[in-house]
Amino acid sequence: MISKINNYLRKVANELERLLIWIATILFTVLVGINIVNIFLRKICSFSFVWIQELSELLIVTVVFLGGCVVIRRKKDPSLSFFIDKYFSKKNKKIMSIVFNFLIICFLMILLFYSIIFIAIRKLARPQYLPITMTWFSIPVIIFAIVSIFFIVEAIWKDFQ
């Protein structure tokens, strides 16, 4: 039973990680592409799309937060790994890793809670040129919090095995 749960969590997490990388790659390609086109238009044609800057901000925020989920899944956060490796013995590393993961989940729950509140505040605001609401700029943070919590729960489950 426990191995079935572990296998299921791993499969879902692998697919989710693959999806995040795929979406982030597409968004980053679009980001680079629209900026190259805008630079070309500005330098050669003396014309520029005014909405490119706002769209670029939205895309880069999304790429960063989706990439942050992958960093958490792969445990590539250098500061936490360095801290645990440097200051704790082998015996205490697993315990401290679980403690830190619970603390990170607490932080992500707070981030999620206040991000949802923040969306309610920003739903009336609009960017100057894009025909969307400012809530779109907060959605990547919510996705980051939810997916990261899932990845950390997967890591904690693996540590308890």
pLDDT digits over 12-44, tens only?
999 999 999 999 999 999 999 999 999 999 999
Q: For residues 128 and 51, give the distance between their C-alpha atoms in angstroms, rounded to a whole number.
A: 8
pLDDT digits over 45-100, tens only?
988 898 999 999 999 999 999 999 999 998 877 666 777 777 778 778 878 888 88
Q: What does the domain layout of the chain look like in residue ranges? A: 2-160
pTM, two decimal places:
0.88
pLDDT digits over 98-117, tens only?
888 899 999 999 999 999 99
- The percentage of the chain sitting over the pLDDT mark of 70, rounded to a whole number, equals 96
Burial of 90 (0-12, 13-18, 19+ CB in 10 A): exposed
